[in-house]
Amino acid sequence: MSEPTHDVSALRALREVGRQGSIAAAAAMLGVSQQAISARMRTLERGMGVPLLARTPSGSHLTEQGRLVVGWAEDVLDAADRLEAGLRSIRSGVSHRLAIAASQTVAEHLVPHWLIELRAAEQAAGHQPTVVELAVANSTAVIELVRDAKADLGFIETPHLPSDLVTAVLRDDELLVVTTPGHPWARRRRPLELAEIAATPLVMREAGSGTRDTLTDHLAAQDPPLRPEIAM
């Protein structure tokens, strides 16, 4: 088996080219020369043996193989970012580490903003940045990570609050029924009845998801109790 010839900096550059739509824009974002990015891309393609970029006069975009590689590389790049942040903290003489876990909805929509606010507050106060390690799972798994002391904080969105852990409500959210534009419900003017929602096959989150538990608990509390039809 041959040794891989790609490196983290090349993978990060490939991801940035995909985001920016051109090698020049990616180089500007990463603070390196356009020639350096081009060389990394050629080396990466040569090492992997597949075309990763489609180059045109108007810019560059990822090929299908390039999109797959970037998707597979996300965990590698996230781990590299955490390592670099940790090393910077160690070199500064002070290491602040915080391990958090968040349910998938919270991790996608809320945690990134919280981390940006944390970093800005630390910089404004002249403090060394906290090295944050984030684990993403559904609400049930997040609770277990906190119980097992594998996470210092957990963020969940579920009606099933653990009685053995300290909890606090951060904010309220709402659940919406989502349909395709051509679905009859999309043109409906009167409210949907809960019985009608329960009788309609739905695409739902996996077992253990707080989003799913919120809906199923609410339907079960009706008189008579209702159960949703799960299509997928």
Pairing of strands 96-103, 153-155: parallel
Residues of the chain with pLDDT under 70: 1-6, 85-86, 88-95
Contact 108, 173 (CB under 8 A): no
Contacts of 8 (CB under 8 A, 6+ apart): 76, 77, 80
- Spell out where the chain has E strands: 53-56, 59-62, 96-103, 130-137, 153-155
What is the pTM for the complete model shown? Answer: 0.54
Measure the CA–CA gap between 79 and 100, rounded to whole angstroms: 15
- pLDDT, residue 160, reads 87
- pLDDT, residue 82, reads 72
Strand partners, 65: none
Tokens representing residue 162 in the block: 């653990």
- pLDDT, residue 195, reads 94
Contacts of 74 (CB under 8 A, 6+ apart): 15
- pLDDT, residue 173, reads 85
DSSP structural state of residue 231:
-
Measure the CA–CA gap between 91 and 206, rounded to whole angstroms: 42
Tokens representing residue 174 in the block: 């709402």
